[in-house]
Amino acid sequence: MKYISVLLLAAAFVSCGEEADVEQDIQTNNEIPTTEFNTKAAGGKVMMQAFYWDVPAGGTWWNTVQGKVSSWSSAGFDAIWLPPATKAQNGGYSMGYDPFDYFDFGSYNQMGSVETRFGSLSEIQALISAAHTNNLDVIADIVVNHNSGGASQYNPFTGGNTWTDFQPASGMFTRSYYDFHPNDYHSADAGAFGGFPDLCHDKQYVQDWLYNNSNSIAKYYKNVMGFDGWRFDYVKGFEPWVVKNFKNAVGGFTVGEYWDGNAATLESWANQAEASAFDFACYYRMRDAFMGNDLTQLNGDMLLKRNSYKAVTFVANHDTDEIYNHKLLAYAYIMTHEGYPCVFYRDYEEWLDKNKMNNLIWIHNNKASGTTSYLYADNDEYVARRNGSPGLIVYINNSDSWRERWVDTNWANTVIKDYTGNSGWEPTTQADTWVKVEAPPHGYTVWSVK
């Protein structure tokens, strides 16, 4: 999360003109009967991060997203991740990461507004219903490290006043200095954030309101609101068992934001939390590869290589959109490799070529299966093979000219084609399974059986 708005320059990103000019034979989801997509729970296809920092205020965002869920489902997404949906300290201006009332989805007049920044209770209910009608799971953003908006009260554990008196209009999960650090249990947990009151997860009262009670946050969000899964914010700030207990109380796809580029650290947290984690190791390796013009960085350690079932891969999100020229190349990487890809709203809806994004999503959902063999990497070129049925060969070329390379496939005497349409070749693999493929400058091709 972030608390400072930043100017996002669309000019910093690759335009569709920087990709190959060859547009023939591009396979998109619109060309395929929807029956080819098996309905799966979140984690099987592709997730949409359905917001960005400072989306338009004024209570219109839930309606905006609702208007897109049908097309997103048709494109091959299986889940949408929403921003924190309840009332925060800054009311109608807040992006939700300064939570005050966990049960006010836009129906109480507090913190200066009735609606949240994104809309009203009825509007988010309509959005969730529309998502479910279109076979999309809805992922709630859960912020339980810190709170904001409490009134000042004398705090005997600090000897002064703290902003820890929370009396939300919903009347649910009222809080006082006993529920934050320091308190009568201990002085701190894994980490505080931004000077906000730091919630104490060791307190039974806090645990009851988070996931134990029948009307706890977890059970209310699942059973009343209809959320299907959970994205936990700033999980460095509390112990992994908090996420584990929450998930065990209600089930559902669960992913944590553990912001660390060390794959082993991510794996350790994911194992302890029994949840997925955003693959920041993959993010940083891609940044180094494409910004540093060194595709050997893609051979580096990533969560997706350690445990692909717990890796949520991404190219950009609301916190970090520093990445880099040639974003489509990064999306070509995560859409053809193991892990659960997450697409950033503005990349899909505003900044990149949607037809090419849909093509990569189709490839992910229909061709990218099985284990991965890493075949070749140098500064400019990268080749990998997915070994499933039918599997694929992905060839990324970050040089200024077309490149060709002989590669070892899993197919003997088989005609293959490039499913991106960037190459018109349809070569036949040799009896020993080798074949020559090509890729355009600052582009990619994805080869599979015809």
Binding site for Ca(2+), by residue number, is 145, 202
Residue 384: how many CA atoms within 13 Å on its side-chain side? Answer: 24
What is the biggest distance separating any 2 CA atoms in the chain, rounded to whole angstroms? 80
Which candidate, 246, 314, 330, places its Cα nearest to that of 278?
314
Helix (H) or strand (E) holding 416, with range, is: strand 416-418
**How far apart are alpha carbons 227 and 336 in whole angstroms?**
28
Residue 304, SS3 per DSSP = helix
Which residues, other chains included, contact 74 with Cβ-Cβ below 8 Å and sequence gap of 6+? Answer: 29, 30, 34
Nearest-angstrom CA–CA distance, 266 and 288: 19
Plot region of 207 (φ>0 → left; ψ -120 to 50 → alpha; else → beta): alpha
Tell the burial category of 225 from Cβ atoms under 10 Å away from its Cβ (0-12, 13-18, 19+).
middle
* Closest by Cα among 418, 421, 420 to 437: 418
* Active-site residue, 233 included: yes
DSSP label of 38: P
Helix (H) / strand (E) containing 268: helix 263-273
Beta strand ranges found along 74-158 (DSSP E) = 77-81, 87-88, 99-101, 137-142, 151-155
Q: In Å, how far from its chain's centre is CA 205?
A: 31
Catalytic residue among 115, 141, 257, 267: 257
Angle at 255 between CA 254 and CA 256, to 5 degrees: 130
CA distances, 403 to each of 369, 381, 445 (Å): 26, 8, 11
Instruction: State the Cα–Cα distance between residues 239 and 16, nearest whole angstrom.
Output: 43
Q: What are phi and psi of 56, to 5 degrees?
A: -55, 135
Q: Spot the catalytic one: 233, 267, 381, 418.
A: 233
Among 144, 140, 1, 2, smallest CA distance to 81 is for: 140
String of b and e for 323-361 (b: at least 16 CB within 10 Å)? Answer: bbbbbbbbbbbbbbbbbbbbbbbbbbbebbbbebbbbbb
Q: Which residues are annotated as a binding site?
A: 145, 202
| Active site members | 233, 257
